[in-house]
Structure 1
């Protein structure tokens, strides 16, 4: 009789992210090539730019998993926008919402 052992992959740690980032070239990681303020931008246009830049990052999945685990309070992490520790689809501009949502 043989017993099987389930392979449980642990959540990526900040150390694993750091190690993988050290092996990647600086110009492959947009968060190191561009200014950090882009990943914590106020304008929806800048947030979408940051998310787009993350798509080709070699540590994107580790970055996203780490941010989810840490429940990052805000910013773009792993190509996703976080607000109060939760991924949200997009940043809404400041101001009042439209009276007629169908006109949007």
Structure 2
């Protein structure tokens, strides 16, 4: 299996430990079911030097879910936001 680090950069160019998705403590954020955690993962991607390559690779592979290149993927497509689990409220307006 090829990783983004081995595909785009040599070890002399960038250490895998500098990539936000390679942080063991943050790894679960990238595949969370919770929208707030996915937004945190997107924020971590913002400063990544491989953001464009990561997103393009995920599109080519039609990644089924997760945050790739600062975007949320679902069913191989980029979605703007992920809805939380459960039914939406009947009354969206608290004053109604």
TM-score by shorter chain over 0.5: yes
TM-score bracket for this pair, using the shorter chain length: 0.7 to 0.9
Within 5 Å, give how 1:71-82 maps onto structure 2. Answer: 71-82=62-73
Pick which of 35-44 and 78-87 moved more.
35-44
Q: Which has the larger radius of gyration?
A: 1
RMSD (Å), alpha carbons = 2.2
Measured after TM superposition, the shift of residue 74 of structure 1 is 0.4
**Runs of 4+ in structure 1 displaced over 3 angstroms?**
14-17
TM-score (norm 1): 0.73
Write 1 or 2 for the structure with the bigger share of helix: 1
Unmatched 5+ stretches in structure 2 = none
Supply the distance in 2 between the matched residues of 1:41 and 1:70 (Cα, whole angstroms).
20
1:58 maps to 49
How many residues are paired up?
Answer: 90
Quick one: structure 1 residues 17 and 70, their matched pair in 2 at CA, closer, same or farther if it must change by over 3 Å?
A: farther
* TM-score between both structures, scaled by the size of structure 2: 0.79
**Bigger RCO of structures 1 and 2 (CA < 8 A, at least 6 apart):** 1
Q: Secondary structure at the match of 1:76?
A: strand
Q: Deviations over 1:21-77 (max 9, x none)?
A: 443233431001244221101111110000000010011110000001111000000
